Amino acid sequence: MAMRLVIPFALVSLLAQGAAKPASKLTADQRTAQSILKSLSLHDRVAQLVIGAYYGDVPSSRSKEFTQFRHWVKDLHIGGLIMVNRVQYGLARNAQPHATALFFNQMQKLSKTPLLIGADFERGSSMRVSDTIRYPFNMAFAAARDVDASRNEGLATAREARALGVQWVFAPVADVNNNPQNPVINIRSYGENPEEVAQHVAAYIDGAHSDPKNLVLVSAKHFPGHGDTTIDSHLDLARLDATRERMSQVELKPFQAAIEHQVDSIMTAHMTVPAIEPEEIPATVSARVLTGLLREELGFKGLVVTDAMDMAGLAKQFHTGEASVRALAAGADVLLMPHDPGVAIRAVLAAVEKGRLTRQRIDQSALRVLEAKVRVGLNKKKLVDLDALSDALASDEETERAQSLADRALTLVRNEGGVLPLAAPNQACLVVSAGVRLSSFGQRLADEFRKRAPQSRIAFVDNSLPLAALDAVIGDVSACSTVVFATFTTNPMLGGDLPAYLEKLSQGSAPVALVSFGNPYLLSGFPKVAGYLAAFSTATPSESSVVKALMGEIAITGHLPVTIPNFAQYGEGIQLPARSRSAPSAN
């Protein structure tokens, strides 16, 4: 077994290494990166490949958490940090912008080599940081058929990211979501049409690269395509059952577009790909996927970064050290969020000593990381201006653009009897399924609905309530002119007794309009509802958009970026004009 491992690893190293460029042909950035590389020990070169996790707080300098970060940065000399959310009660809690920037400055001051700070700002900085532009999810951009909006999102996200001290944006999502049962990609994708996904991916990259003063690295993910899977790789090993020919026509097209538009990095997926890799191992540790397919066939020259290494799709099969060695041997350059950065570094150093990895292989990836740092100017300026931060965040113009996009994304799939817009909002009943307790989902929806229809009945329900309790929460709905059932789930189906409750509602005398902020495929499970409106985004601007649409204040103009099996095809959408201002107010 040991010999079987050593041989492919050596071959991968030779294939990936390539011919060295003559010094005379190096760019100034490359010469700077090589100079930095020469100053680093083997340990520090390995450490440059490791990105540790930061959860958005500013811990006291006397705390165990701060001590850990100081150890990673000052002692281990890791290459960077990635910002992720702290989760409480099953919900993500966003960080404060000034606290975030302050912490990054603190870490940069401790760093021997400037840190590369990353964040998966898939829907702008608001995904992780409060008081920033709240963009809808990607699928809303495709529903609105607005590629220019994706370009603008890339530009605006780059500006906010750099102001916060983030230089590496782990976006855009390049997955083609053509599987209605996908529990993890869903509305994070631009849709099921590979050409359309490719257009948005390319536009986002172009936008993020368009301002030299706010240049960021971007990362297309999750290679070779996580859209046609039924398992969440955070929880287990996912699988892509597609032929190589189908992959060329679907999954790979957005990644090819990303490469053509000079994407800086590509993130791997923790899933098996039998058409490329016959072994039951994640793509993250497959040389056939990362070197054979990505490097050699598609010609990608940039950074290959793993998906988070603490995800079960990888961690269930390989412990931190072994996963780190295998990922680098397969062709990855950056180890993202290993459970213990120190363990990862020691394992890679041991692999070099034993011959499983070569020093040349380490240098190749370390040089890529250093070149990326120089490209975004970290060698010249690694601290951000805290005084200028507020002016760089959430401009009124960008906020209005995000709201307009959310408005135009709304897609009406069913409207039996003209149930929408609501004829008598004050006699309507609004049921908000926020998913879990303590969620903020639906608060703006309810507030704005109540402002317009103060006599309406509004109730919040969640997955934990049994059917009897759900009936009691809203009471008798027979007197309601319409029941609007709004759900924020991105899962393939509603949880708990909610499906039975919604089915019961749809069989009653009051027509039911189902509004899906998350999973756009829910109509398949509830064929008896009279109306179906999809927002493709759980972000708060979409809540405002839905209320305006329910009241007839805006036109509904979106088109489906996906097919809803047995109900609606890709591209469909009922076009509904705004209610005339001269029309009498319905009460």
Active site (catalytic) residues = 234, 307
Within 10 angstroms of residue 587's Cβ, the number of other Cβ atoms is 11
Rounded to 10 degrees, the C-alpha dihedral 241/242/243/248 comes to -150
- Residues 289-311 as b or e (16 or more Cβ within 10 Å = b): bbbbbbbeebebebbbbbbbbbb
Can you tell me whether residue 211 is helix, strand or coil? coil
Computed on alpha carbons and rounded to an integer, the radius of gyration of the chain in Å comes to: 25
Report the sign of the C-alpha dihedral through residues 338, 340, 342, 348, in that order. Answer: negative
Q: How many CB atoms lie within 10 A of CB 184?
A: 21
Give the Cα separation of 289 and 275 in Å (integer). Answer: 10
- Measured at the CA of 544, the angle between CA 464 and CA 94, to 5 degrees, comes to 60
DSSP, res 53? E
Q: In whole angstroms, give the CA distance from residue 208 to residue 156.
A: 8
Contacts of 484 (CB under 8 A, 6+ apart): 422, 428, 429, 430, 431, 512, 513, 515, 550
Task: List, as one string, the DSSP characters of 431-448.
Answer: EEEEESTT--TTHHHHHH
Centroid of chain to Cα 175: 10
CA dist., res. 486 & res. 22, Å (int): 61
**CA atoms in the 13 A half-sphere facing the CB of 17:** 15
**For residue 313, which of 222, 234, 230 has the smallest C-alpha distance?**
234
Per the listing, tokens 């060695």 go with 325
Nearest in space to 197 (alpha carbons), one of 259, 156, 147: 147
Q: What are phi and psi of 483, to 5 degrees?
A: -105, 120
